[in-house]
Amino acid sequence: MNITMIRFLSSLILLAFAVQPLSAQKLTILHTNDMHSRFMGYSPEADYTPLTLHDDQTVGGFARIATIISEYKNRVPGSLLVLDAGDFSMGTIFHTVEAETGFQLRLMKKMGYDMAAIGNHEFDLGIDMLAKMLAKSAEQEIPGMLLSNISFIPDSTGDDALENLYKTGVLKTWRTLDRNGLKIGFFSLIGLEAAHVAPYVRPAVITDRIAKAREMVTFLKESEKADIVICLSHCGLVFNTKKGWIGEDVDLAKEVPGLDVIISGHSHTSLTKPLIVNNIPIVQAGSEGRYVGKLEIEKTPQGVVVLSGDLIPVNDEIQGDPVVQRMILNQQRLISEKLFEPYGFRAEKPLVETAFDLNFNEQTCLENSNLGPFLADAIWEYLREVYPTDVVLLTAGLTRDEITRGQTGQQLPADLFRILPLGLGTFDKAPGHSMAQIFVTGAELKTILDVMLFSGASSSGTYVYWSGIRFKYNTLRMPLDRVYDIELGNDRDGYEAIRISKDLNDCYSIASNIYVLEFFGLIKEVTKGILTVVPKDGECKPIAGFKQSIMDMDPNQPGIQEIKEWVAVMKYASSLPDTNGNGIPDIPEKYRQVKLSAEKSASINPVKLFRATNGITVVPAVLEVGIAAAILLLIL
């Protein structure tokens, strides 16, 4: 073979390598969603040993996730993307100081995250607090932050702080980056259902996700010349036994041509393999760091091809990154000083232990929960000493975790805080919704029970756990008029029936957080005037506003010394008897079984059918009697 031919063949080989990179333009995507600030493995946290292997049963933990990311960076250098689809914050002690420290997003950047979306829970403490958290975080390097479908109100100043972060580039509607010779475009969405449960996004507005997605795909591919467009979608999807996979992310894939990948969140769905809809892969990795999702794709002339996809379990098989864990422990010490020590708690010292699990699951375990009654009783017992009240109620929608026995049964303050972590004080702006107390008549208490029964049957989030009360209801009566007997008291001292006639004005106290109690003032509006509750003060006089009802634990001190549900639970738990003599209080055995406050029947007994009726049941019953009489007359 002559020299000219050798040179010609060599040129062809070099040209082939230039046209097709060695990696064939593949990408590996590691993805998470709904992390909810779960820095530590669970549950309980006392069992978590991230730096050693094969000695605990916990799952999750940012130190372990950091190891997974590091391993893949070494395995596929230059072609790895690390993404989060929103709700990265809110849910543990760590979110309580984010506006002051900006710790989490900086930690995520150090771990290797490229992009992160804003989810509905990022707004839980208000739009201004989100802006403060992002601004503080961005004083150092953080992942590229995204939220595309938000609109700000020109005539309002209430959303200016977040709007300004778009102007400075801390938050953007779209971003691009280059990996392995590919230009990748990103945008993010909050879905319709997620927006519905994000009231504190106001005065800003979450806009139509489909229209925004089409706009973003067109812009990124035509103007920015992106080879691949990825949506971080905090919308979600669920499996329906009759229809298969349904939800907003399924609709997104069907209705937005040109989109290449959907990294899904919000629904806490563990997709063990990519769901392909309209040739678009949808992936989601459960929640709270239990898994890291992995998706491998390849860019071809025909489009994006899925090579593989699965979930990587985050458990004791993975040795955590010691640097990341040390950073987390330092942050935990800071929070312990600020959050727990004023109440006499320490982050590393167990508060209580349990010989059994206390279960709660909003989707599958409401009536069968033994956790809900324990929490309600804990708050009632604590208030009995500091702010006596007749009735305590706790809603399922604000209950965020369970108590798991684990290996030792020991529960740290962080384990109990995770159960009721949401909200900020009205006056003190400290973590946790303000607890409040209102007074109502016996008839109004019946109305509240009827309304919450009806609401809880249609929405799991409004299912209620009660303490200090027992009641009976008949399902053959009309909705909103099923309760016919109410008793107040407790298991230790006994219960006493109260009169619930409309013409009686005796008042009884109800305690919950102000977020829940405010709903009772809206009952007239919600029921179109059929039922009414007028919240009152201790003298049984109507209150001017719900701020007036916020509990002040020490009126002799300046300002309002607010009571928090999480504090009440911890104080009660730490006061329980130590039954096994190891120096740690124990959760009583009676909570191993489910405790029900309501006795349900389906009876045509006239007493159970008409006793204490508010009139809603009577009218249909009279009509039925009238119709029956008319039929008899016709027959005769």
Encode 402-456 in three state secondary structure: CECCCCCCEECHHHHHCCCCCCECCCCCCECCEEEEEEEEHHHHHHHHHHHHHHH
Q: CA–CA separation, 33 vs 81, rounded Å?
A: 14
- CATH number, domain 22-323: 3.60.21.10
pLDDT the model gives residue 627 = 36
Lateral strand order in the sheet of 26-32: 171-172, 144-146, 115-117, 80-84, 26-32, 291-300, 303-313
Query: Could you tell me the two tokens for 412?
Result: 């740290």
What Å distances lie between residue 19 and 24, 306, 336, 516, CA to CA?
10, 22, 57, 63
Q: CA–CA separation, 62 vs 94, rounded Å?
A: 12
Q: CA–CA separation, 276 vs 285, rounded Å?
A: 15
Q: Measure the CA angle with vertex 230, ends 170 and 238; round to 5°.
A: 110
With b for 16 or more beta-carbon neighbours within 10 A and e for fewer, the 216-225 pattern comes to bbebbbeeee
At residue 111, the 3 state secondary structure works out as: helix
pTM: 0.89
Q: Which residue has the tokens 């009279």?
A: 622
pLDDT the model gives residue 366 = 87
pLDDT the model gives residue 615 = 87
Cβ count within 10 A of residue 56: 17
Strands 352-353 and 410-411: antiparallel
Q: CA–CA separation, 472 vs 566, rounded Å?
A: 29
- CATH number, domain 350-600: 3.90.780.10
Write out pLDDT tens, residues 213-249: 999 999 999 999 999 999 999 999 999 999 999 999 9
Question: Residues spanned by CATH 3.60.21.10 within the chain?
Answer: 22-323
**Helix orientation angle between 322-335 and 103-111, rounded to the nearest 10 degrees:** 180
Question: Residues spanned by CATH 3.90.780.10 within the chain?
Answer: 350-600
pLDDT the model gives residue 19 = 40
Q: CA–CA separation, 44 vs 522, rounded Å?
A: 39
Residues in the chain with pLDDT values less than 50: 1, 3-23, 622-636
Q: CA–CA separation, 109 vs 274, rounded Å?
A: 26
Phi-psi region of 112 (alpha: psi -120 to 50; beta: other; left: phi over 0): left
Nearest CA-CA partner of 37 in 65, 57, 58 = 65
Cβ count within 10 A of residue 81: 26
pLDDT the model gives residue 123 = 97
Cβ count within 10 A of residue 58: 23
Phi-psi region of 225 (alpha: psi -120 to 50; beta: other; left: phi over 0): left
pLDDT the model gives residue 127 = 97
